[in-house]
Chains A and B, each alone.
Chain A
Amino acid sequence: MSDVLWLIPVLPLAAAVLVGLFGKLLRGQSHWPVVAAIAGSACVSLYAVVQLHHQSGPVAVLRSTPLPWFSAGGVNIDFQLVVDPITAVMLTAITFIGTWISIYSIGYMHDDPGYPRYFAVFSGFVFSMCGLVLTDNLLVLYGFWEGVGLCSYLLIGFWFAKPSAAAAARKAFLVTRLGDAAFVLGIFLLWNKFGTLEFEELFQAARAQPNEPILLTACLLLFCGAVGKSAQFPLHVWLPDAMEGPTPASALIHAATMVTAGVYLVGRTMPLFVAAPAALATVAVIGTITALLAALIALTQHDLKRVMAYSTVSQLGYMFAALGSGQGDLAAFAVTAAIFHLFTHAFFKALLFLASGSVMHAMGHVIDMRRIGGLRKALPITHWTFFIGAMALAGLPPFSGFWSKDEILAVAKEAGHGSAYHAAYLFVFYGLLLTALLTAFYTSRAYFRTFWGPEVIPAEAGHHGHSHDDHGHDHDHHASEPAGPGVAHESPFVMTGPLIVLAIGAACVGGLLAVTHGFAHFLGHTSDFVKYLPKHEHHADYGLMALSAGLSVVGIFSAWWIYVRNPKTAGAMARAVPRLYALSQNRFYLDEIYGWLAVGPLTAIAVISRVFDMLVDGIVDIIGRVPRFFGGLFRPVQNGLVQFYALATVLGLVVFIFVLAYLRGEKGAW
C-alpha cells in the first residue's frame, strides 16, 4: 500500500519530462500536466497525513519498498521513501503551496515565450524537493539537494538574456555549491566513521558515542550545506539576487522549496546535532546573526521584492536559531517550533511574494516603492491579501506568524537556562526579540508605502507584456522615463484566487494548529523524536506571548507613524544617521567584501596558474631542446670533408692505441 508514496515524486517528475520534451507541442497549454501532477502529489500527501494520523502506537511511519541505486566498496545506496510526520508536514507545504503557485503562474507567465520551459523546471523543482524530504538516506538527500540547486539555477536564470539574471543564476548555483562541497565532505566523514548513510543507523551510532569529536565536525559540515541552501550568513548573498527570476519562481524558492531544505536537513539530523552541543550553539548563533543582519538590511530597501527576500533570510535565521536552541531535552520542542514556523512561513511568504507579483503585474513590472504607492483602491484583492501576509510576518496575533514565532522565542528563552552556552543563548534570545520588532517595522513599512498614502502609479502600468528586456531593477534610470500616470488593473482571477486561498492559510493555520496543539502532537509521532530526542513538557508562557505581541504592535504602529502619518520623518531619519543608513542600504557591503576577499583572489590565482602553466610548458620545451643542443654541438664534426674524416680516423686510431698501451702498462703485462 505504501508504494502509493512513489506517486508523490513521480507525478511531478513525469510532468516535468513530458512538458520538457513536448513543450513545443503544448505551448500555452503546458501548465495542465504540471498543475495536475502537483495537485495529485498534494492529494497523495494529504492521504499520507491521514494515514499517519490513524496509525496507532507512538511511532507513525509509512515506508515504500526500497529500490537499489548503487552499491560499491561499502557504499550502499537505496531509494526508499519514508513518510513520517516531519516529512508529511514538509510534503504538505511543498505540494499544497506549490499547486497554488503553479496556478498563479498560469496568469503571471501567460504570454512568455519560455512558457513550457518555465513549467517543466517548476515541476522538476517540486519533484526534487519532494524527493529530498522523502528519502531516508543522507546521500540520496544530497542528490535531490543538488537537484533543487539545479532547478533554482534554471528558474533564476529563466530570462537568461538579461545579464543580471544570468549573473544571479550563476551566483546562486555557486554560492550554494560552496556549502554543498562542505556538506558532502561531512556526509562521507559520517560514512567513514559509521559505515552507513541511513538516518536510523546513523542516529543509533551517534547515540552510542555521544560527544564524539568527529560528530561535531560532521555536524558543522552538514550545517555548512544548510547555510548555503537556506541562505544563512555568510552565504546568504545569493538569495536577494535570486529575485531576477519570475516572481512565482521566487515564491516557490522562498516559501515551499529550496531555502526550507536546510532547515529540514538540520531538523532531520537533530539526533546527530544533539550529540554535539557545540554544533547546536553554533547553529543558534549563526541563525540569530542572520536574522538580525537581514532585518537591518530590509529596513532601508526600496524594492518591494528585495524587502521580502531579506525577510526570508531573516525568518530562516529564526528557524535556525530555534533548531540551535534544542540543547538536551529541548530538542524535540526546538524541532517542532522550527518546522512549525517553516510551515506557517511557507504560507505567508508565498502569499507575500505572489501579492508582490500581482503588484508588479499591475504596475508593468515596476516594483520600486519610490515609484508606486496608495494602491489599496486600485488593487483591492491584492491589498487585502498582502495585508494578511504582512501581519502574519509581523507576528501580529491572531495571524499565523505570531504563533510559530512565539514558540521559537519560548525555545530560545528556555535554552539559556542551565546550558553550558548560557551567554550565547542570551544573545540568541535578545537578538530574536529585537528582530521581531524590526520585522514588524519593515514589513509594515513595505505595506504602508505600497498601499497607503497618495496614489502613485508608474507610466509602465497596464503593460502586461513580459518583454523581459525592459523588466529589470534599473531603478536609477527611471527619471528619464515618460511621466504621466499609467492605468492599474487588478490581476485576473487565476492569480487572485491563489492569493485568497493562501491568505486564508496565512490567517488561520498557525492559530488552529497552535491552540489545539495539533501540530506538536502530530510531529510527536516522528520516530526520531520518540527514539532519540528527549521529551519535554512545555507550558504556554503568556508573558512571553504578550511581549511578542507588544513588540509587533509597536513595530507596526511606528511604521504607520513614520510612513503614513508623518511621511517626511522617514527621510529625516535617514539623513540623521547617514553612515548607518548607507550601511543598511548597501547590505553591509558584504557583496563587495566577498568580491575583494574571495572572488578577486580566486580569479587572480586562476590567472597566475595559467601563467605558471605556460612556464611549466616552457621548461618542458627547454628540456626538449637539450638533445638538439647536443646535436648542435657535434654537428660541425659532420662537415662532409673526406680529408677531415681521414684525419679524424687517424687521430682516433692514434689515441686509441696510446690508451690501450697505457692501460696495459698499468697492469704491467708486457
Chain B
Amino acid sequence: MTPQMLILATLIVPLVGAAIAAVSRSTKAARGIALVAVLVNLALTAWLVLPVIPELIARAPVPTDAEPLSFSPLHTLKFDLLPFASEPGKPSPALQFYVGLDGLNVWLVLLTSFLMVPAVLVSWTAIEDRGAEFYAWLLALAMPMLGVFYAFDSILFYVFFELTLVPLYFMIGIWGGPMRRDAARKFFLFTLAGGVIALLGLIGITIAVRNRTGELTFAIPRLIELVQQHLRAGDPTTMAYWKQAQWLVFLALTAGFAVKVPLFPVHTWLPLAHVEAPTAGSVLLAGVLLKLGTYGFLRIAIPLCPDAALAVGAPLLCTLACIGIVYGALCAFAQQDVKKLVAYSSVSHMGFCVLGLFALNSAGINGGLLQMVNHGLSTGGLFLLVGMLYERYHTRMIPDYSGMAARLKVLSVFMVFICLSSVGMPGLNGFVGEMLILAGAWSVQAPGVSGAWLASVVCVGIFLGGWYLFTMLKRVFFGPLHEPHHDHHAPPVADLNARELCALVPIAIACIVLGLWPQPIIDSARRDVNTVVKICDGARDRAAVVKGE
C-alpha cells in the first residue's frame, strides 16, 4: 500500500468500525469491534508512519533559498472537492482534500492512533449503557482527529477541527457525570465559537492573498509561500497591507486556537468537560484534542502571520501562557476532585507548550512540539489512572481516600510513575521538552518580552507542578489505609487487571523511550521547525529594520 492509501485507510477504518459498532446488537460485540478497529488503525498508522520517519530525517535541515520558504509535506494526496470557475489555461482554484505528512504532524498522528487503544480498553466495563452507540462515537472521533493533523488545506483543516466536536459532544452529553448536559453544551459552544472566528481568519488570509496575487488557494503551504514571497520582497506599500492583514488574521486564529489549548481566561470549559466526560473522552480530550490548538498555532497562525506573531503574539500569548502555568497549577492544588486537579494541570502544562511555541526560536518550538506529545502521554495516562480509581470506588474526592498504595499496589506504582513523567523527571518524557522550553524562554527575542521573566515563570511552574501532584499522591496513596465507603458485601477491591495493564504499560514504555531517546522526534521535525524559525527570523529582521528607521 502506498502511504497515500494508508492515510486514507487510517481515516476510513475508524469510520467503518463506527458504522459496524453502531448497528451491533450488544455492548460486548461493539467493544470487540471497537478494539479490533483501533488495533487495525494503530497497525496501519505504524505502517504509514514508521517508514516515513527516516525519510523525514533524511531531508535537508533547512530549505535552501531556491526553495519556497514553506512546509513541504511528503506523500501528499490532493483532489478537488469543490472547484471554482477558473480561467482557461490556469489551474482551477478549489477547496481540496489535501493531506500529507511532515515532521510536525507525524508524531501527533501516531499519538492519536496510539491513545485510541487505551481509550477503548478503559471503557471496557465502565460503559454498560448504550454501549454500541458509545463505541460508535468513540471510533467516529478518531477520523477527524487524525484528519486535522493530516490536513494541508485550510478549509479541510477547519472542517476536521470542528468535526471533532460532534462525537465528543455526544460522549460527554450521554455518558458523562451528573452535570453532563451543562458540560457538553459549554464545551461545544465555547470551542465552536472559537472555531468560527478562526474560520474567519482562514478565509481572511485567503482573500488577502488573492487580492494581492490574484491566486485563489486554500492550501496552507502555498499560502505561506505566497505571503513569504511578498514579505521578503519588502515593498513598503505592500508591507503596510500585509501588516494589517496579519494582525486581523492572527487575532482571529488566536481566538479559535486559544480556546482549544486552552489558555487563560478562556479555559473554564475544560475542567467541567473533563470532570463530566467518561474516562475515554477525557483521555482523548487531554491527549489529542488540546493539541489541536497548539498545532494550529504552529501549523497555521505563526507561519502565516509571523510579523503579527512577533509583535502581538509573543507578548500576548507568552503572558497568557505564564498566567496559565502558575494559575493552572494553583487551581490544581486547591481542588478536592482528582480529575479536576488533572484537568487544571493540563491548563498549566499546555501553558508550557504555548510558551515554547511563542518563544519563536528553535529551542522553544522544538520543546513545544515535544511537550505536545509528552503531555498527550502523561496526562492521558493520568486520566486513565483516575478513571480506574473511580471505577473501583465511584468517588473522585481526594478526602475520601487515604493510603491506597497499600490496597492498590500496581495502580499506585503507575500513578507515581506517570506523575513523575508529568513533573518532568529526567529519563522520562517530560524532561527534555521542559528543558527545551526553558532554553527557548531564556533566549526569546521579541518586543516587550523578557527572557529572564519567562524563564523564571517556567521554573516556578516546574516547582508548582511537583507541589500539587506530590501533595495529591500523599493524600490519596500514602498514609494509613482508608478506603472510601463502598459495598462491603462485594469482594474486596482488586488491583489492576490484565486489560488495564494493557492500557497502561504501552504508555509507560513510551514515556521511558521518549525520555531517553527524544532525538527521532527532533530530527524528523528539524526541517519544518527550521522553516518556522526562519520565517520568524525574517519577521524579527523586518521589525529591527522598522525600529532602526
**Are A160 and B362 in contact, CB atoms less than 8 angstroms apart?**
no
**Are A185 and B459 in contact, CB atoms less than 8 angstroms apart?**
yes
Q: Is A371 an interface residue (CB 8 A)?
A: no
**Are A73 and B363 in contact, CB atoms less than 8 angstroms apart?**
yes
- A45–B442 Cα distance when bound, in Å, is 38
B438 neighbours in A (Cβ, 8 Å): 184-185, 188
B362 neighbours in A (Cβ, 8 Å): 72-74
Contact digits for B489-532, partner A, Cβ 8 Å, 1 yes 0 no: 00000000000000000000000000010110010000000000
**Are B479 and A72 in contact, CB atoms less than 8 angstroms apart?**
no
Contact digits for B353-384, partner A, Cβ 8 Å, 1 yes 0 no: 00000000111111100000000000000000
Q: Which of A70, A161, A602, A603 contacts B478 (CB 8 A)?
A: A161
- A178–B467 Cα distance when bound, in Å, is 10
Q: Is A564 an interface residue (CB 8 A)?
A: no
Q: Which of A161, A181, A188, A610 contacts B481 (CB 8 A)?
A: A161
Contact digits for B379-398, partner A, Cβ 8 Å, 1 yes 0 no: 00000000000000000000
- A161–B481 Cα distance when bound, in Å, is 7
- A606–B439 Cα distance when bound, in Å, is 28
Selected interface stretch from B93-101, B200-208, B423-431: B423-431
A181 neighbours in B (Cβ, 8 Å): 459-460, 462-463
**Are A610 and B406 in contact, CB atoms less than 8 angstroms apart?**
no
Q: A161-B403, A163-B480, A178-B463 are in contact. Are A170 and B470 (CB under 8 A)?
A: yes
Q: Kindly report which residue of chain A lies nearest to residue B344, judged by CB atoms.
A: A613
Q: Is B330 an interface residue (CB 8 A)?
A: yes
**Are B334 and A609 in contact, CB atoms less than 8 angstroms apart?**
yes
Q: Is B319 an interface residue (CB 8 A)?
A: no
- A69–B431 Cα distance when bound, in Å, is 12
Q: Is B432 an interface residue (CB 8 A)?
A: yes
**Are B460 and A75 in contact, CB atoms less than 8 angstroms apart?**
no
Q: Kindly report which residue of chain B lies nearest to residue A604, judged by CB atoms.
A: B334
Q: Is A166 an interface residue (CB 8 A)?
A: yes
Tell me the residues in window 180-231 of chain A with beta carbons closer than 8 Å to chain B beta carbons. Answer: 180-182, 184-185, 188-189, 191-192
- What is the CB-to-nearest-CB distance from A408 to chain B, in angstroms, rounded to a whole number? 32
Selected interface stretch from A143-151, A349-357, A383-391: A143-151
**Are A160 and B478 in contact, CB atoms less than 8 angstroms apart?**
yes
Q: Is A617 an interface residue (CB 8 A)?
A: yes
A602 neighbours in B (Cβ, 8 Å): 467
Q: A150-B420, A610-B335 are in contact. Are A143 and B363 (CB under 8 A)?
A: no
**Are A163 and B331 in contact, CB atoms less than 8 angstroms apart?**
no
Contact digits for A599-643, partner B, Cβ 8 Å, 1 yes 0 no: 000110111011001001100100010000000000000000000
**Are B474 and A71 in contact, CB atoms less than 8 angstroms apart?**
no
- What is the CB-to-nearest-CB distance from B296 to chain A, in angstroms, rounded to a whole number? 21
Q: Which of A74, A165, A177, A616 contacts B439 (CB 8 A)?
A: A74
- A386–B235 Cα distance when bound, in Å, is 83
Q: Is A173 an interface residue (CB 8 A)?
A: yes
A624 neighbours in B (Cβ, 8 Å): 186, 189
Q: A72-B362, A75-B435, A161-B406 are in contact. Are A177 and B466 (CB under 8 A)?
A: yes
Q: Is A508 an interface residue (CB 8 A)?
A: no
Q: Which of B330, B363, B425, B473 contacts A75 (CB 8 A)?
A: B363
A173 neighbours in B (Cβ, 8 Å): 466, 470
**Are A606 and B466 in contact, CB atoms less than 8 angstroms apart?**
no
**Are A616 and B522 in contact, CB atoms less than 8 angstroms apart?**
no
Chain A residue total in the interface (Cβ 8 A): 51
B420 neighbours in A (Cβ, 8 Å): 150
**Are A192 and B439 in contact, CB atoms less than 8 angstroms apart?**
yes
**Are B522 and A72 in contact, CB atoms less than 8 angstroms apart?**
yes
Q: Is B333 an interface residue (CB 8 A)?
A: yes
Q: Is B477 an interface residue (CB 8 A)?
A: yes
Contact digits for B450-465, partner A, Cβ 8 Å, 1 yes 0 no: 0110011001101100
**Are B364 and A73 in contact, CB atoms less than 8 angstroms apart?**
yes
**Are A620 and B268 in contact, CB atoms less than 8 angstroms apart?**
yes
Q: Is A68 an interface residue (CB 8 A)?
A: yes
Q: Is A514 an interface residue (CB 8 A)?
A: no
A271 neighbours in B (Cβ, 8 Å): none
**Are B442 and A191 in contact, CB atoms less than 8 angstroms apart?**
yes
B466 neighbours in A (Cβ, 8 Å): 173-174, 177
**Are A73 and B334 in contact, CB atoms less than 8 angstroms apart?**
no
Tell me the residues in window 140-159 of chain A with beta carbons closer than 8 Å to chain B beta carbons. Answer: 142-144, 146-147, 150, 153, 157
Q: Is A34 an interface residue (CB 8 A)?
A: no
Q: Kindly report which residue of chain A lies nearest to residue B456, judged by CB atoms.
A: A185
- A150–B515 Cα distance when bound, in Å, is 16
- What is the CB-to-nearest-CB distance from A412 to chain B, in angstroms, rounded to a whole number? 33
- A169–B470 Cα distance when bound, in Å, is 9
A161 neighbours in B (Cβ, 8 Å): 403, 405-406, 478-481
**Are A160 and B477 in contact, CB atoms less than 8 angstroms apart?**
yes
Q: Which of A139, A188, A605, A620 contacts B455 (CB 8 A)?
A: A188
B460 neighbours in A (Cβ, 8 Å): 181
Tell me the residues in window 246-298 of chain B with beta carbons closer than 8 Å to chain A beta carbons. Answer: 265-266, 268-269, 271-272
**Are B439 and A73 in contact, CB atoms less than 8 angstroms apart?**
yes
A153 neighbours in B (Cβ, 8 Å): 470
A185 neighbours in B (Cβ, 8 Å): 438, 455-456, 459
A613 neighbours in B (Cβ, 8 Å): 268, 271, 327, 331
Q: Is A36 an interface residue (CB 8 A)?
A: no
- What is the CB-to-nearest-CB distance from B191 to chain A, in angstroms, rounded to a whole number? 13
A456 neighbours in B (Cβ, 8 Å): none
Contact digits for B135-153, partner A, Cβ 8 Å, 1 yes 0 no: 0000000000000000000
Q: Is B440 an interface residue (CB 8 A)?
A: yes
A74 neighbours in B (Cβ, 8 Å): 362-363, 439, 443
**Are B478 and A606 in contact, CB atoms less than 8 angstroms apart?**
no
Tell me the residues in window 537-559 of chain A with beta carbons closer than 8 Å to chain B beta carbons. Answer: none
- What is the CB-to-nearest-CB distance from B335 to chain A, in angstroms, rounded to a whole number? 7
- What is the CB-to-nearest-CB distance from A309 to chain B, in angstroms, rounded to a whole number? 21
A163 neighbours in B (Cβ, 8 Å): 478-480
Contact digits for A58-83, partner B, Cβ 8 Å, 1 yes 0 no: 00000000001111111100000000
Q: Is B436 an interface residue (CB 8 A)?
A: yes
- What is the CB-to-nearest-CB distance from B345 to chain A, in angstroms, rounded to a whole number? 13
A162 neighbours in B (Cβ, 8 Å): 479-480
Q: Which of B331, B440, B467, B522 contacts A609 (CB 8 A)?
A: B331
B522 neighbours in A (Cβ, 8 Å): 70-72
B365 neighbours in A (Cβ, 8 Å): 73
- A605–B460 Cα distance when bound, in Å, is 14
Tell me the residues in window 433-450 of chain B with beta carbons closer than 8 Å to chain A beta carbons. Answer: 435-436, 438-440, 442-443
- A619–B330 Cα distance when bound, in Å, is 20
Q: Is B471 an interface residue (CB 8 A)?
A: yes
Q: Which of A184, A606, A617 contacts B330 (CB 8 A)?
A: A606
- What is the CB-to-nearest-CB distance from B378 to chain A, in angstroms, rounded to a whole number? 15
**Are A166 and B333 in contact, CB atoms less than 8 angstroms apart?**
no
Q: Which of B271, B435, B451, B479 contacts A139 (CB 8 A)?
A: B435
**Are A73 and B440 in contact, CB atoms less than 8 angstroms apart?**
yes
**Are B331 and A184 in contact, CB atoms less than 8 angstroms apart?**
no
Q: Is A459 an interface residue (CB 8 A)?
A: no
- A74–B359 Cα distance when bound, in Å, is 14
Q: Is A167 an interface residue (CB 8 A)?
A: yes
Q: Kindly report which residue of chain A lies nearest to residue B182, judged by CB atoms.
A: A621
B367 neighbours in A (Cβ, 8 Å): 72-73
- A605–B403 Cα distance when bound, in Å, is 27
- What is the CB-to-nearest-CB distance from B100 to chain A, in angstroms, rounded to a whole number? 23
- A147–B426 Cα distance when bound, in Å, is 7
- What is the CB-to-nearest-CB distance from B542 to chain A, in angstroms, rounded to a whole number? 22
Q: Which of B331, B427, B436 contacts A72 (CB 8 A)?
A: B436
Q: List 14 A-B contacts (CB under 8 A).
A: A72-B522, A73-B362, A147-B426, A150-B425, A153-B470, A163-B479, A170-B470, A173-B470, A189-B452, A613-B268, A616-B265, A616-B268, A617-B272, A620-B190
**A-B contacts besides A185-B456, A609-B330, 13 pairs, CB < 8 Å:** A68-B519, A71-B522, A72-B436, A73-B440, A74-B363, A75-B435, A144-B426, A161-B403, A163-B480, A166-B478, A182-B459, A185-B459, A610-B331
Nearest 10 pairs of A and B residues by beta carbon: A73-B363, A73-B362, A143-B426, A166-B478, A610-B334, A609-B330, A72-B366, A617-B268, A606-B334, A181-B459
